[in-house]
Structure 1
Amino acid sequence: MHSATVVIDPAFTIAPVRRGTFGTFVEHLGRCVYTGIYEPGHPTADEHGFRGDVLALAREMGVSTVRYPGGNFVSGYNWEDGVGPVSERPERLDLAWHSTETNAFGLHEFMTWTQVAGVEPMMAVNLGTRGLPEALDLLEYSNQRRGTARAEQRRANGADEPFGITFWCLGNEMDGPWQLGHKTAREYGRLAAETARGMRQMFPDLTLVACGSSSSGMPTFGDWEREVLEEAYDQVDMISAHAYYREQNGDLGSFLASAQDMDHFVASVAATADAVGAARKSTKKIGISFDEWNVWYHEDESKLPKGEDWPVAPRLEEDVYTVADAVVVGNLLISLLRNSDRVHSASQAQLVNALAPIMTEPGGAAWRQTTFHPFALTSRYARGQVLRVAIDAPTYENARFGTSALVDAVATHDAETGEVAVFAVNRAVDGPTTLRVDLRGTGAPALVEALTYAHDDVHWRATEADAETVLPTANATARVEDGVLVVDLPAVSWSVLRLRA
């Protein structure tokens, strides 16, 4: 059996736990919207056509923000197509996903859904095929109370009060050659700056996110962030980061250490942003919006349609996740938490059906994928301050990173309740690891709960027929001995350990 030690002390904090860490993403991709969150006529549908079973699961997940409407979709989207009487809305070709967009679900429907779900909207503007004028029109339509043409148009369309959207993405993945309206960093940076400047002239207190790199593997990574921020540093609050991970060629060891890449990504973007700020002699700190992250295989049976086939809401990117995938998702959340000083917002992509923790069948059931569980429990129990933990763990060799620690962990401390939550993963594939958590400075802690997600078959998948064989279960090995929490972590597992002084 392996052994590892974690030392935590409430005196050593990183940043407050940011509720924005637990955001997600709804894009007009595949069945995320249609037969995902929206299915009029479904047995659980409400008066708006929203699936009640999906709403209940989204609330259980503890989702804080939802990014919308894309994603690649937004770079060819005309927001005006999705407002007004549904019967009068035009159908359009969605070039991003080679599908037909009916526009039955648009801005008003999304804003109503966020209100029903109790989440904050994170709206993206199209800077691919459109630009500043259209972004200003959308902002005026959404947020101006009354009197102007766009405000009165919104009121005529049924929303007398403004939507009050304050969180905005300035385009999506504009560094990617696949993106409609793909631009160089200088071209995009200038467009983002002028769009942000115009939006702030209308509403000064917006939170604005510029497009960063669509992955750290992009050939322009680093240079892209530098050039964009040299143009837009004073106008934006955050720059985005996107990253997806998958097990390749049976290399489970490298896959389990994916959070190392996320840590490096955050550190690199933060260093680049700080270098631009230093050159400008600015005291401002640019935050990071990790507004696309997940496990994504790109290998599901459904492929993008081609030629004259432009279906409505086809089954696209419907990955069915494993226990190992869930452990990696839990570890990525550990990375996001420990980087809370710079990562101010994050969005797991996506919420329903398309590479998602929630799956549905049209007219049928909704169920939790394996990746649902670490997200829901981390969102529920991460409170107060993120603590700077010291980890002493054995390492193992893997092809991608060389060496990685067998155990990774982060902790949070809520001073109001006295509760400490430790989130930990065991990356060992050959057996359990005994973890000792030194709780110095936390008083006389008592164990509240220890939950572990693991299974002998790390490639077990949840399905509609069986979504509950593997669930987080109580870890009976957890105990507190002389101020030290001791617990055995099974191989390839994620755990949350709760204590209270």
Structure 2
Amino acid sequence: MPTAHVELDRRSVIAPINRRLFGSFVEHLGRCVYDGIYEPGHPTADADGFRRDVVDLVKELGSTTIRYPGGNFVSGFRWEDSVGPRDKRPVRRDLAWHSLETNQVGLDEFARWLKLTGSELMLAVNLGTRGIEAALDLLEYANHPSGTALSDERIANGTPEPHDIRMWCLGNEMDGPWQTGYMTADDYGKLAARTAAAMKMADKDLELVVCGSSGSGMPTFGEWERVVLEHAYDNVDYVSCHAYYQERGGDLGSFLASALDMQYFIDTVVATADHVGDRRKSKKRIMLSFDEWNIWYLDEHQASDEVGDQWRVAPRQLEDVYSVADAVVLGDLLMTLLRNCDRVTAASLAQLVNVIAPIMTEPGGDAWRQTTFFPFSVTSRLARGAALQTRVTSETYETAVHGEAALLDALGTFDDETGTGAVFLVNRSTTESQTVTVDARSLGASRIAEAVTLADADPYAKNTLADQNRVGLAPNASAEIADGVVTVVLPPVSWTALSLA
């Protein structure tokens, strides 16, 4: 049995953990909104048509910030369609996902839904087919208190108080040829810079996110960020990162090491942004918003006929059913975001319901947790205070995609206010358990308040409509502590969380 050792030092702080790291994403795509969060005829629906069983699961998930309304959808979206009397809202074609948008859920309704879940709204503006004027109009409608044409329109529509949205995305994936109105880095950088400057003339305290690359595999990766930031650096606060992972060709070992690619992505974007800042002799540092990340079996969807010639309302699209292995990788990716919380200060798991999501629903029926729900919800609950530099001594293995990888990944956090710590552990071995020791003496730990593991004899076990509780968290009875040192056995292909008090 392989062995590994983890050492924590409460003085070795990376940075405080920004709660926005536990954000998610709702796009008008497939059944994420319609038949997902919104289903007026459902037995649990409230007066606005929102499913309260889904609200309860979102609260349990612990999502803090929700990016909305896209995604690719936003690049053809006319925000004005989604406000005012519902019976007067137009039905439009959504070119991004080849479906029909009824606009029955819009900004005001979605903001009310966010209050039910306790989440913050992160709003995207359309820079694909629109631009500065539409962005300023949306900002006025959403945030101005009263006394202007658009703020008074919001009040007349039944929302007297401004939404006070702080974080705004300047378009979406504008480097991608699939994006309606996609641009070169130079063209987008100029437009984003002008839009950002205008929006900050209206409110200098807005937090603005400029589009980075749609993935580290894009041919313009790195250079896109450099060119865009050369234009927009002074007026934006974040650059976005998007990354999706999947197992390919039965190569589970490489898939389990996907976090190495995410780390490469972060390192590259940070270096590029800082290079631009240093050239400009700027004291400001651009933060990263990892506002799309998840497991997504994109190859399979692209080979399917999900997006056909018919124009349908809320078709079933991108409804991945996740395995234990998928959940273990997702937990590891979230650990990587926390490990970089000095620069990654916002993130959005894409998406929230039905579409590549931790929560699934059936029209008129149940809502249930996918395997990926569990590492996200537990990490959101336990990772408090600050992330710690975590020293890991582990055996390694060779992957076809990422080269050498450690069999164990680990991250620790500590909250000075409560005196509690947490340790998150991933065993990447596909065949063997690992015995891990965690030196937590620096944390003053004397007892294990919680020890849970996500694993299964079948790493491809899933939760489905027919068997919604096939996979779940189990107490890890092997975990014990003596003189501040924890010993725990990790099954193969597993994710584990320890809460230390």
TM class by shorter chain equals over 0.9
Query: Structure 1: which amino acid aligns with 2:44?
Result: T
Whole-angstrom CA distance in 2 between matches of 1:264 and 1:305: 32
Report the TM-score when normalising by structure 2: 0.98
* SS of match in other structure, 1:317: coil
Q: Give the aligned partner of residue 421 of structure 2.
A: 420
* SS of match in other structure, 1:44: coil
Residue deviations 1:325-349 (CA, integer Å, cap 9, x gap): 0000000010000000000100000
* SS of match in other structure, 1:189: helix
Determine if contact 1:171/1:210 at 8 Å carries over to the other structure.
yes
Whole-angstrom CA distance in 2 between matches of 1:427 and 1:378: 18
Whole-angstrom CA distance in 1 between matches of 2:378 and 2:23: 14
* Match status 1:165 vs 2:192: no
Q: Give the aligned partner of residue 3 of structure 2.
A: 3
Determine if contact 1:200/1:206 at 8 Å carries over to the other structure.
yes
Whole-angstrom CA distance in 1 between matches of 2:56 and 2:444: 37
Q: Give the aligned partner of residue 330 of structure 1.
A: 331
Q: What displacement does 1:444 show?
A: 4.7
Determine if contact 1:302/1:316 at 8 Å carries over to the other structure.
no
Give unpaired runs (5+ residues) of structure 1.
Answer: none
Q: What displacement does 1:18 show?
A: 1.2
Q: What displacement does 1:116 show?
A: 1.5
Whole-angstrom CA distance in 1 between matches of 2:205 and 2:405: 42
Q: What displacement does 1:163 show?
A: 1.1
Q: Give the aligned partner of residue 72 of structure 1.
A: 72
* Match status 1:399 vs 2:400: yes
Whole-angstrom CA distance in 2 between matches of 1:19 and 1:459: 31
Determine if contact 1:98/1:304 at 8 Å carries over to the other structure.
no
Whole-angstrom CA distance in 1 between matches of 2:87 and 2:311: 20
Determine if contact 2:414/2:443 at 8 Å carries over to the other structure.
no
Residue deviations 1:57-92 (CA, integer Å, cap 9, x gap): 000000100000000000000000001111111100
Whole-angstrom CA distance in 1 between matches of 2:23 and 2:162: 23
1:106-125 matches, within 5 Å, as 106-125=106-125
Q: Give the aligned partner of residue 351 of structure 1.
A: 352
* SS of match in other structure, 1:154: helix
Residue deviations 1:365-405 (CA, integer Å, cap 9, x gap): 00000000000000000001110011110000110011100
Q: What displacement does 1:302 show?
A: 6.2
1:187-202 matches, within 5 Å, as 187-202=187-202
Q: What displacement does 1:254 show?
A: 0.2
* SS of match in other structure, 1:218: coil
1:298-447 matches, within 5 Å, as 298=298, 299=300, 303-307=305-309, 309-447=310-448
* Match status 1:454 vs 2:455: yes
Query: Structure 2: which amino acid aligns with 1:316?
Result: Q
Query: Structure 1: which amino acid aligns with 2:492?
Result: A
Determine if contact 1:124/1:170 at 8 Å carries over to the other structure.
yes
Whole-angstrom CA distance in 2 between matches of 1:482 and 1:114: 44
Determine if contact 1:321/1:461 at 8 Å carries over to the other structure.
yes
Q: Give the aligned partner of residue 485 of structure 1.
A: 486
Query: Structure 1: which amino acid aligns with 2:417?
Result: E
1:130-169 matches, within 5 Å, as 130-169=130-169
Residue deviations 1:167-204 (CA, integer Å, cap 9, x gap): 10000000001101101111111111111111111111
Query: Structure 2: which amino acid aligns with 1:350?
Result: Q
Q: What displacement does 1:160 show?
A: 1.3
Residue deviations 1:84-133 (CA, integer Å, cap 9, x gap): 11111110000000000011111111111111211000000000000000
CA RMSD of aligned residues (A): 1.0
Q: What displacement does 1:303 show?
A: 3.3
The range that moved more, 467-476 or 349-358, is 467-476
Q: Give the aligned partner of residue 203 of structure 2.
A: 203
Determine if contact 2:461/2:470 at 8 Å carries over to the other structure.
no
Whole-angstrom CA distance in 1 between matches of 2:408 and 2:307: 42
Q: What displacement does 1:146 show?
A: 1.1
1:196-345 matches, within 5 Å, as 196-298=196-298, 299=300, 303-307=305-309, 309-345=310-346
Q: Give the aligned partner of residue 468 of structure 2.
A: 467
Whole-angstrom CA distance in 1 between matches of 2:425 and 2:161: 45
* SS of match in other structure, 1:260: helix
Whole-angstrom CA distance in 1 between matches of 2:444 and 2:35: 50
Determine if contact 1:21/1:346 at 8 Å carries over to the other structure.
yes
Distance 1:495 1:444, change over 3 A: closer
* SS of match in other structure, 1:31: coil
* SS of match in other structure, 1:56: helix
Query: Structure 2: which amino acid aligns with 1:458?
Result: P
Determine if contact 2:415/2:421 at 8 Å carries over to the other structure.
yes
Whole-angstrom CA distance in 1 between matches of 2:307 and 2:251: 31
Whole-angstrom CA distance in 2 between matches of 1:336 and 1:421: 15
* SS of match in other structure, 1:389: strand
Determine if contact 1:389/1:410 at 8 Å carries over to the other structure.
yes
Query: Structure 2: which amino acid aligns with 1:196?
Result: A
Whole-angstrom CA distance in 2 between matches of 1:62 and 1:151: 31
Aligned residues: 499
Q: What displacement does 1:478 show?
A: 0.6
Query: Structure 2: which amino acid aligns with 1:113?
Result: W
Whole-angstrom CA distance in 1 between matches of 2:249 and 2:440: 40
1:31-42 matches, within 5 Å, as 31-42=31-42
Q: Give the aligned partner of residue 89 of structure 1.
A: 89
